[in-house]
Amino acid sequence: MKKNKISPGKKKEAGIAYLFLLPLFIGVILFFIIPIFQSFYYSLTSWRGVGEAEFIGLKNFATLFKGDRKFSAELRNTLVYVVGSIPLTIFLALLIANLLNASIKGVGFYRVIYFLPNVMMGAVVAMVWKWLLNSRYGLVDAILYFLFGIRPAWLSDTNLTMISMCVISIWSGMGYCIVIILSGLQSIGTTYYEAAKIDGANAVQRFISITFPMITPTIFFLLITRVIGAFNQFDLVYMLGGNEGPVQESLRTLVFGIYKSGFVEYSMGYASAKAVILFGIILIVTFFQFLGEKKWVNY
């Protein structure tokens, strides 16, 4: 049997392609792979950012799980934020994307409006909502006071701060989800719906039997990416809660805790231990998401 030989021209093209990819590979190694291994190493030390790193074994992890109440609060706040924002974001995006997929006037305008928050920096989003939710002159409280005579302290009452951050996150992240889901909806052939109409299926039945099963890969993709993004939330926490105080404590997530331990308290080894735990949590959550993929995702 003759082996297919690669022509010199093909080899030259492959070499050029690898040459263009080389900066990307170097960047991944320098800024992703090496820092991951460094974090694992420093998590076993008492390094403070300068000088030599003294090896202390698993002491940082023991302190985190046994005596650090702030870490427990960070972990709890992170999980509450993920559960409180991601499902509702995807649900509302799915609902609005279905409406935009219909033949309505000005659909292009609505797409731009919904996607606009996604192109805004997290700090800008937080500043806008700090004005909207201000209990003295904010637009939201002005409307609530006019209608019901109440002025909730959204950003100073520790019972409401996490709810406020979830609402802001839903508003800012929904546009991206809408665009992705909308692209999935538009890839579904119309013949499926025509056949379902002939069989007498109503709109709800068509959604359950056709639309949802065919966009489950899109929803699964959003679920993976949004959950990972939520676990890494920092800018909203910093902008809404500041650097100290009870409000900041009520919003403090794992990533913010890593920042505080590493760059405020200068305990890089302790911060690295938190980063390793966060990395492990994301791996476990992603693993279980892929484990359950076969049960509800249709390809």
Residue pointed to by tokens 């939201």: 140
Residue 296 confidence (pLDDT)? 81
Contacts (Cβ under 8 Å, ≥6 apart) of 258: 271, 274, 275, 278
CATH topology for 36-296 is: MetI-like fold (1.10.3720)
pLDDT reported for residue 62:
93
Give the integer Cα–Cα distance in Å for 45 and 160: 38
Amino acid at 1: M
Nearest to 160 by CA among 141, 137, 139: 141
CA distance 263 to 259: 6
Cα 246 to Cα 70: distance, rounded to the nearest angstrom:
12
pLDDT at 4: 63
Angstrom distance (rounded) from CA 184 to CA 18: 32
Neighbours of 248 (CB within 10 A): 18
Distance of CA 223 to the CA centre of its chain: 9
CA 202 to chain centroid, in Å, comes to 35
Specify the pLDDT at position 6: 66
On whether the CB atoms of residues 47 and 37 are closer than 8 A, the answer is no
What is the per-residue pLDDT for 200? 87
Q: Are 190 and 243 in contact (CB under 8 A)?
A: no
- pLDDT at residue number 170: 94
Question: What is residue 246's predicted lDDT score, i.e. its pLDDT?
Answer: 86
Distance CA 80, CA 120 (A): 24
Q: At 10, which amino acid appears?
A: K
Q: How far apart are CA 153 and CA 139, in angstroms?
A: 13
List C-alpha distances in Å: 250 to 3, 159, 231, 286: 66, 8, 16, 26
Stated pTM of the model: 0.87
Q: What's the pLDDT at 52?
A: 87
Weakly modelled stretches of the chain, pLDDT under 50: 1
